Amino acid sequence: MLVLSSALAAVVGCPKSVDTPESVVNRDPRVGGRLFAATSPFNQVIPTNPQLDPRSADYVKLMNRSKKEKGFVLSVKEWTVPAYFAKPATMRHDVLILGQPPGAHYDRAFVHDVVRIMRGVPIPDNAQPDPMDDAHLTVIDPANGCEYDLYGAKRTAKGWTALWANATSTPESGIYPYGLSSRATGFSPLAGVIWPAELRNGRIDHALVFAYPYTRSGGPVYPATASDGKTNLAAALPQGARVQLDPTLDLDTLRLSPYERTIAETLQRYGMYLGDTGGALALYAVNPQSFKLNPYAGTLPDDPLVFLDRIPVERFRVLRTGSQTAQTPLAVVPSPCAQIEVLG
């Protein structure tokens, strides 16, 4: 499975934002902005009366079963993505990309089988990967608009290594055009994650991303560019599918907590894209370890996984997915952010 800076002290307790979606594009997400281009699929509001997938009811029935099995959760301190921010003086590192871990066997051979190196990655001294097996780590360099994504990241005595690494530009779509993100679907690991400032402000101006156990085999659907789906159930959801909480649902009737209310409003307005295979139906928040102080204090329970029990999964609906891409043409796309070289 490819699942996924210092806190600004003055931000904690900041007043509720009154920004419009247009004014938050490409601003610092630590203070209420959002990443990626205004044209990114993640930054598009769902139109009124969108086309629903003919299989929506069956998809949602299986999603609700998943909730009953393992819950609907928000990953906060584990199985998510820490996001660090580089400064001009941040030391740059060459990250050794090791490919498949010992004993691992991917469905087919591709670039993960080749040892590579990603040159010149600015990694702050305090950076640490997510503590779980996927060991995600992402660094944003605001000076050049670059995002550096590591999966299976590890700091060794000889330097940084990763099972996979790639780079993209934050003014672009947040989607790697030929897969090979550190997330299974080609989505940037920061696309669709929830930032602390968004929960404090009570507003999220982008679609969310979620993981799910029952991801369909056979390739992704737009806007995903890759897939690790392996389930053959008829109601398994293809990766890249967009799910919306019924916009006619009166949230006032649900007795939601403030963070659940913010998330539910976002699911009605922007929805969520299926971005990865996971052990439970789960959304992602930026791992608080990448901040000096707990940025979720007063907004979220202090738990690794926060349950979203009051959001009714049975009121989800799946927008028309389109056809699956049968074969994903995985390829490393040259980026001005970093050079990736084959070793040997």
User: pLDDT per residue over 171-188, tens digit each?
Assistant: 999 999 989 999 999 999
| Residue 75 sits in the same domain as residue 221 | yes
Q: What is the DSSP letter of 1?
A: -
Q: Specify the pLDDT at position 111.
A: 56
4 belongs to a structural domain: no
| Residue 159 sits in the same domain as residue 53 | no
Strands 281-284 and 72-75: parallel
The two tokens of residue 310 are: 């009051």
3 belongs to a structural domain: no
What string of DSSP letters covers 87-150?
-TTPPEEEEEE--SPTT---SS--GGGS-EEEEEEE--TT----SSTT--EEEEETTTTEEEEE
| Residue 131 sits in the same domain as residue 29 | no
Q: Specify the pLDDT at position 18.
A: 37
323 belongs to a structural domain: no
17 belongs to a structural domain: no
| Residue 143 sits in the same domain as residue 194 | no
Low-confidence ranges of the chain (pLDDT < 50): 1-25, 105-110
| Residue 197 sits in the same domain as residue 242 | yes
| Residue 117 sits in the same domain as residue 266 | no
| Residue 300 sits in the same domain as residue 206 | yes
Residues 6+ apart with CB under 8 A from 337: 141, 144, 146, 147, 148, 167, 168, 169
Residue-number span of the structural domain to which 135 is assigned: 83-173+334-342
| Residue 70 sits in the same domain as residue 89 | no
| Residue 74 sits in the same domain as residue 62 | yes
| Residue 214 sits in the same domain as residue 76 | yes
- The runs of H, that is alpha helices, within 253-331 are 258-269
| Residue 206 sits in the same domain as residue 281 | yes
310 belongs to a structural domain: yes
Q: Specify the pLDDT at position 108.
A: 39
Q: Specify the pLDDT at position 201.
A: 96
Q: What is the pTM of this model?
A: 0.89
- Considering its fold, how many domains does the chain have in total? 2
